Amino acid sequence: MTEIMISIQPKWCEKILNLSKRWEMRKTKPRKTEGPFRVFIYQTGGGVIGEFVCDAIVAVGPSEITKSVLSDTQMTMQEAIQYAGGMTVYLWRIRSMVDYPEPKPLSAYGLDRPPQSWCYVKGGEA
């Protein structure tokens, strides 16, 4: 299974962990994925706080940002429009969320610094 490390600000991590955020909006998507892939969550300024399985990615154009998209991403219209910048964005579906009891260091995933947005990783502490 493809494994990815994603950097997410604490505000959004909280919404993912409490299961109110069901889709993560990103400007890019992985190319090397076959089927579902594992996503480790690096909380900006902290450690790796959990993981989820992404089993779908949906492309959304600027005119397709609807109330449903906003609800699923927990973003305001202003936040979504500003983030997208008039471009197509990708919604990564969040499934099977696992909240780690203690944050794990990036070094456990072979990284010495957090990814700008996301990056491929190999394994990590299970």
12: helix, coil or strand? helix
Q: What tens digit of pLDDT does each residue of 36-51 get? A: 999 999 999 999 999 9
pLDDT for residue 100: 97
Domain ranges of the chain: 3-56+92-121
Tell me the two tokens of residue 70: 């906003």
3-56+92-121 fold: 2.30.130
pLDDT for residue 35: 77
pLDDT for residue 126: 42
- Residue holding tokens 């500003």? 82
Residues of the chain with pLDDT under 50: 126
pTM score > 0.85 for this model? yes
